[in-house]
Amino acid sequence: MTHPYFAKTRHPRVLAHRGLLTAAGEDSGVWENSAAAFAAAHAVGVEYIETDCHVSADGDVVLFHDPDLTRLNGDTRAVAEIGTRELRAIFADHGGLLTVREALDSFPGVRFNIDIKTDAAAEPLGALVAPHAHRVLVTSFSDARRQVAIAAALRGGAAIRPATSGGSRTIAAMVALSALHLSPGRVLRSLDALQIPERQRGIRVLTPALIRAAHRHDVEVHVWTVNEASEMTRLIEAGVDGIVSDRADVALETLAAP
């Protein structure tokens, strides 16, 4: 059965990778995963936003990709060492910090794809998304993290489990099984999507066999991170269900139904 996360939305899916920066202007100072980047994505009609989470020193689950602030402003401290109030001050000139709770409340019509970047974020994230399980997909490179989050959501009263996609071990198993033409049924159990790069470290991850195997078990295939219109078109024609893109505006225009 298709998860409600995918119900009544456009297919193929367009997932705005950490929001949308280009709509705010290249020199605007707006940072990825910020309130302004999310608002820009929402303004162009995005239905899905891909984002990442860490935990602040105060225990708040905040939306940020990197383990520290080096890439943002040269600060080498870990996100986990910085209080939420200070993070807000740092983000004030970069589009505005969002916690997971604030993102879910501020964009009630958006469906979120949340990548758990640290073990400490898994359980609190699950509790936060419990009331929103119909519009949240929980993922992580660590299968253990996403499983902890899903269990926490169910304990927190979620009417259904959040949608989920496989982590690194799941993807590796899928690639091996599909290459050997073996059934991936056990691997795909309780998954709603496979979110993968086309290639990883020189190895082709996306193959026709993988797409066929996923679709036989009602699992969608999403490819990241695709920014060229010609590549988006090629992948959709190959059978991919969704594109994760820094240029969600371009993807929406390119993949619009004729």
Judged by phi (left if over 0) then psi (alpha if -120 to 50, else beta), residue 251 lies in alpha
Active-site residue set: 17, 65
The answer to whether the beta carbons of residues 62 and 55 sit under 8 Å apart is yes
Q: What string of DSSP letters covers 147-162?
A: HHHHHHHHHTT-SSPP
The letter for the amino acid at 226 is V
Q: How far apart are CA 4 and CA 93, in angstroms?
A: 36
The answer to whether the beta carbons of residues 98 and 72 sit under 8 Å apart is no
The letter for the amino acid at 150 is I
From residue 72, give the alpha-carbon distance in Å to each of 17, 19, 83, 231.
17, 16, 16, 29
